[in-house]
C-alpha cells in the first residue's frame, strides 16, 4: 500500500473494494473481472472512465466507433469542424481521455470522441447526439470472449441515443446495418458501393445528400476504406452545420494519421508505407485493397487468434512476397500455404525491411500491415511503426 498526492494506492484485491461506494475501471480492465463480482453483488456501481466523465462534459458529443478507421475518422471529423469554424475538441481513445476533456469542455462546442468497445461496454448514461459505426469485424475476442459480446459493446453507443439523435452507419457492413434497429434516433447511411440516403461513392466522386462533394483523387488519404471514413466524417460535419464547400475544402487538406497507411518515402522508385495500426486481418485486407499490385508485405507479430487464410486470394492477386516476423510467423506461413505467394521467414522487422529493399524494384510497394498485435517485439503499434520508419529513412540515407 502507498500514497500518491493524497490518494491511497493498494493492490487489486477484494479487500481494496470493501468500503467502496463506486468503482471506476480503466478501459484496459475487463468489465467481467472476477474481483468485481462481489462488488456488484453488494449493489455497488461499477462504471468506466467514459461514464464517469459523461455528466461533467459540457457541449454535445460525437461518438465514433468501429473495428477499423476510428482514429482517422475522429481526427478527420475534428479537422473538418475546426476548418469550418465550428468549435470542437477531439479525444477519447485517440489520446485524451474524456475525463481530461471535462476542464476544456464548453456548452457551445462538440466533443469528438473515438470510442473503443472497452470504453463502451460500461456506459449507462453517456449519450452521443451523433454516433458513428464504421464497420464491425472480429477483434478483441480474447477480451470479449465472443463476437456477440463484442458487437453488443459497440451497440451501446446507439442504444443510449435519444429520438432526435443521429446514427451514421455503414450500409455495406451487415453487422453495422443492424444498429439501425438498436437506436431510437434517426439514421444516415454511407456506402462505397451504391446510392443511399446520405453519402456514397459514385465512381471516383463522393456524393453527399445527392450533390457532388469531391473527387477521391483530390484526397491525401488512399484506399476505399478511407473514402468510407471521409463519407462518415462528411455526414457528421453536415449534421453539425458545416456546408458542402467547407467539408470538401477541409477533407482534401487532411493528412493521413501516423501509422495508418502512412506514406514514408520513395527510394529508387519503391514506395514504403507504414500501416502498423493494421493489427487485425481485416485491417490488412483493407491496406492491400488500397494498392494495385507489386506489394512486398510485412506480416506478423503477436497473434490475436486470427484466421490468416482469408489473406490468400488478395495476396495472390497483388503481392510479390510475404515477409514474416514475430511470434505469429509460423502460423501465418502454415495458413498461407505454399501456393499463395513466396513466404520469407525474416524474424525481425529490420531483416524484413532489408530483404524487401533488396528485392523490390521501381513501381513496387513495401507495406508494413502486420495483421497482428505488436507486443511480442515492440511496446505497441506506434513503437513498431516508428522503428519501421527509422529503418526506411536509414535506407534513404544510404545506411543499410
Active site residues: 70, 93, 140
CB 352 within 8 A of CB 342: no
Residue 327 and residue 301 in contact, taking contact as beta carbons nearer than 8 Å: yes
**d(C-alpha 75, C-alpha 70), whole Å:** 9
CA distance 285 to 280: 9
8 Å CB contact between 376 and 248: no
Q: Which three cell numbers, joined as nine digits, stand for 351?
A: 531483416
Listed in sequence order, the DSSP H helices in the chain are 37-41, 49-53, 70-83, 98-101, 117-120, 141-144, 147-159, 174-177, 224-239, 244-251, 281-289, 312-318, 329-336, 349-359, 381-396
Cβ–Cβ under 8 Å, residues 158 and 182: yes
240 phi and psi, to 5 degrees? -90, 15
The span from the CA of 193 to the CA of 203, in Å, is 9
Q: Which residues contact 145 (CB under 8 A, 6 or more apart)?
A: none
Tell me the three state secondary structure of residue 182.
coil
Amino acid at each position: 500500500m502507498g500514497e500518491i498526492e493524497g490518494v491511497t494506492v493498494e493492490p487489486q484485491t477484494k479487500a481494496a473494494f470493501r468500503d467502496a461506494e463506486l468503482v471506476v475501471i480503466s478501459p484496459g480492465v475487463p468489465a467481467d473481472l472476477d474481483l468485481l463480482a462481489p462488488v456488484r453483488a453488494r449493489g455497488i456501481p461499477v462504471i468506466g472512465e467514459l461514464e464517469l466523465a459523461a455528466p461533467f462534459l459540457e457541449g454535445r458529443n460525437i461518438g465514433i466507433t468501429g473495428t477499423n478507421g476510428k482514429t482517422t475518422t475522429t481526427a478527420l471529423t475534428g479537422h473538418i469542424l475546426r476548418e469550418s469554424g465550428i468549435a470542437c475538441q477531439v479525444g477519447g481513445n485517440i489520446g485524451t481521455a474524456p475525463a481530461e476533456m471535462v476542464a476544456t469542455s464548453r456548452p457551445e462546442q462538440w466533443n469528438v470522441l473515438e470510442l473503443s468497445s472497452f470504453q463502451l461496454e460500461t456506459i449507462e448514461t453517456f449519450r452521443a447526439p451523433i454516433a458513428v459505426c464504421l464497420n464491425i469485424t472480429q477483434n478483441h475476442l480474447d477480451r470479449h470472449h465472443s463476437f456477440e459480446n463484442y458487437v453488443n459493446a459497440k451497440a451501446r453507443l446507439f442504444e443510449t441515443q435519444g429520438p432526435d439523435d443521429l446514427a451514421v452507419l455503414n450500409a455495406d457492413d451487415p453487422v453495422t446495418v443492424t444498429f439501425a434497429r438498436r437506436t431510437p434516433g434517426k439514421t444516415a447511411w454511407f456506402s462505397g458501393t451504391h446510392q443511399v440516403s446520405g453519402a456514397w461513392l459514385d465512381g471516383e466522386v463522393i456524393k453527399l445528400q445527392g450533390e457532388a462533394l469531391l473527387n477521391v483523387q483530390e484526397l491525401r488519404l488512399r484506399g476505399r476504406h478511407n473514402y468510407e471514413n471521409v463519407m462518415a466524417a462528411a455526414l457528421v460535419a453536415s449534421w453539425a452545420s458545416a456546408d458542402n464547400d467547407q467539408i470538401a475544402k477541409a477533407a482534401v487538406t487532411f493528412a493521413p494519421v501516423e501509422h495508418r497507411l502512412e506514406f514514408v518515402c520513395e527510394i529508387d522508385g519503391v514506395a514504403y508505407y507504414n500501416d502498423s495500426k493494421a493489427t487485425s486481418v481485416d485491417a490488412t485486407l483493407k491496406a492491400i485493397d488500397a494498392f494495385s499490385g507489386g506489394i512486398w508485405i510485412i506480416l506478423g507479430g503477436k497473434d490475436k487468434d486470427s484466421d490468416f487464410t482469408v489473406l490468400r486470394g488478395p495476396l495472390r492477386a497483388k503481392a510479390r512476397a510475404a515477409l514474416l516476423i514475430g511470434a505469429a510467423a509460423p502460423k501465418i506461413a502454415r495458413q498461407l500455404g505454399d501456393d499463395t505467394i513466396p513466404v520469407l521467414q525474416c524474424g525481425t522487422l529490420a531483416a524484413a525491411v532489408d530483404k524487401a529493399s533488396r528485392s523490390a524494384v521501381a513501381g513496387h510497394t513495401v507495406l508494413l500491415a502486420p495483421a497482428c498485435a505488436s507486443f511480442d517485439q515492440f511496446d505497441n503499434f506506434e513503437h513498431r511503426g516508428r522503428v519501421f520508419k527509422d529503418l526506411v529513412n536509414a535506407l534513404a540515407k544510404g545506411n543499410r
